[in-house]
Amino acid sequence: TKTFIAQLVALYLIALKLGQDRGALGYDELDRLKDQLRSLPRAAQYVLNKADEIRGLAKKYGNARDMFYIGRHANYPVALEGALKLKEISYIHAEAYAAGELKHGPLALVTPSTPMVAVAVRDPTYEKMRSNIGEVSARGSPVLAIGSEGDKELPKFVDDVFEVPDIPWIFSPVPVSVALQLFAYEVARIHDCPIDKPRNLAKSVTVE
């Protein structure tokens, strides 16, 4: 959870330094990106302030036996993180897939009893994500989307939308991760799972 977010921020900082050293980023663009990076705590707090909304979504979707997550581009790894956290602390079977790979197998598993969590913020793959969501909805799967604040179109295609701040898409994995982690936390609470001590898991892995 906190380690994953810290790793994301560390990677952003490394990318900015490499961009500066290689001359790929000018001083103005570098300053702009640094300012956006500094705004991420506010974006995370925005999500945390909506904990009651996430709690309601957890009550709606948290009794499923299986749940799938999809994402594209920078938010595919975030979908993986969301599914991992759900299975770790709530013991619900959850798997994440690259949305573009749905027709190569995962779509066969989609049924009305398998909710889909779709990361569909406004980024370069947004239209393709909407198309993927349509494929899932056509099979009767309930869809919970993580979308950008103010998106008026996305609610027309899904069952529920949880909005994260509409920040530059390259930084969207941070608030999206917080939302998915909080969703997993609330689902685990519903099932009275020992969130701080998940079954069979250790905080530090010392053996291979």
Token output for 84? 């991992």
pLDDT, one tens digit for every residue, the chain (208 residues): 789 999 999 999 999 999 999 999 888 999 999 999 999 999 999 999 999 999 999 999 999 999 999 999 999 999 999 999 999 999 999 999 999 998 888 888 899 999 999 999 999 999 999 999 999 999 999 999 999 999 999 999 999 999 999 999 999 999 999 999 999 999 999 999 888 888 878 766 556 6
Sign of the CA dihedral running 133, 186, 52, 64: positive
Token output for 173? 């994995």
Strand stretches in the chain, DSSP E: 66-71, 93-98, 116-120, 143-148, 160-164
Token output for 79? 């979908």
Domains and CATH numbers, the chain: 39-190 (3.40.50.10490)
- Look at residue 72 and give its three-state secondary structure: coil
CA dist., res. 173 & res. 8, Å (int) = 8
Q: Which pTM was predicted?
A: 0.93
